[in-house]
Structures are given as C-alpha cells and as structure tokens.
Structure 1
Amino acid sequence: MESKKESNTDNNKKSLMTIENRRKLLLTGVSEVVSFNDEQIILNTNVGSLVIKGRELKMNKLDVQNGDIIIIGIINSCVYNSNEDKHNKDSILSRLFK
C-alpha cells in the first residue's frame, strides 16, 4: 500500500506559474536552481526544465523546502523543456547526420 501512496503523490506534483506585468514571476514546484545570472535563470521543476530569459533578473525569494521562487526583473520568455522532448530532438538530429 505504501508504494501506491508514493506513486500517487508523485503523479499529483504540480507547478504553478504567475507572471505579473512581465516584472514579477511566482513559481511553485521548483526542485533545483541549475544556473542563474541577470539575463537567464534555469530551473528544474516538477513538470520539466524551465528557462527564463530577460533583463535584470533577480531571485527575490527562494524557498527550497517548499519549492517556491519569486523572480523579479524584465521577463522576456519562459520555456519548458521535458526530458522526452530532448530525447526526441537528439534522435532526429542523429538521423539527419548519419
């Protein structure tokens, strides 16, 4: 029974993103900050890797325990990448260069 409960909670993991006026981003479900500078922040979330691009980006609040983060600055783009997408792109590229 315990393994069923664990798998259920894994499937119920959520990530919520809110952007206010392109100046403030609130995000839940963050598992890791991969890299960051004032123009790009890369995060791992419950639903895939997230790349945030902009200017004057700063992590205003980071709650590692709960997976919450607040980013302020000028937000130009937010792009999710999943592991499946990366695998498919690699296989297509490898086919092209054979």
Structure 2
Amino acid sequence: MEEKKTMCAHRLSLDNRQEGTVTGVRDIHSFNESEILLETEAGRLSVKGELLHVRRLNLEKGEADIEGKINSLTYLSKKTENKEESLLKRMFR
C-alpha cells in the first residue's frame, strides 16, 4: 500500500510577543534560549528572542508551541544552508 505524506497548512500565530503556535512544522533543527530554527512547509523559520522554550511539539500533526520574549521571525531562503557562515562572506557573494 502506498504511504501518503500529508501536508499540513503552515500557520503562525503570536500573542503579545510571548506565546506562539506554529503549524505545518516538519522538524526542529535546533533550539536554545535565544533562537529556534524550524523546518516548516513554507521553508526554514528562525525565531529569535530571549528565554525561548518549545513548550509542545507534535511532529505527527506538524504543530509546535513556543514561549518566551520573541524579538524576530525570519523565513530563511533555501540557499541559506549554513547559518554559521560569516557575515562578511555573505556580504561579498
């Protein structure tokens, strides 16, 4: 029997820059208190802030709840594979 890969719609909800819900999550690449890097249906999403925490993660449903002081949400292009690449190297491509 053929296995179907269900695609969940990507949605981002943020309340008072303190709590957020993300749907369409495929994976979490990394997380710490200052950054969470998610793989979503819409591409990689970088969440930056302070005291960040992944409160709930359900990859079967593609959902994640995050909390903390959220300062920025950035979708990274598919070309941005190495996030540790130096700023100077990125400026002079």
Per the normalisation by structure 2, the TM-score is: 0.76
How far does residue 86 in structure 1 lie from its aligned partner after superposition?
4.0
Residue of structure 2 in register with 1:17 after alignment: 12
Q: Deviations over 1:38-73 (max 9, x none)?
A: 110001000100000000101111111101000010
* Larger-Rg structure: 1
Q: Which amino acid is 2:39 matched to? A: N
Q: How many residues align?
A: 82
Residue of structure 1 in register with 2:62 after alignment: 67
Residue of structure 1 in register with 2:74 after alignment: 79
Residue of structure 1 in register with 2:50 after alignment: 55
How far does residue 77 in structure 1 lie from its aligned partner after superposition?
0.3
- SS at the partner of 2:26? strand
The structure in which a higher percent of residues are helix is: 1
- SS at the partner of 1:38? coil
Per the normalisation by structure 1, the TM-score is: 0.73
What is the identity percentage for the equivalent residue pairs of Structure 1 and Structure 2? Answer: 33
Whole-angstrom CA distance in 2 between matches of 1:48 and 1:78: 12
Q: Which runs of 5+ in 2 are unaligned?
A: 82-88
The structure in which a higher percent of residues are strand is: 2
Q: Which runs of 5+ in 1 are unaligned?
A: 88-92
How far does residue 14 in structure 1 lie from its aligned partner after superposition?
1.9
Which of the numbers 14, 27, 31 marks the counterpart of 1:32? 27
Compute the RMSD of aligned alpha carbons.
2.5
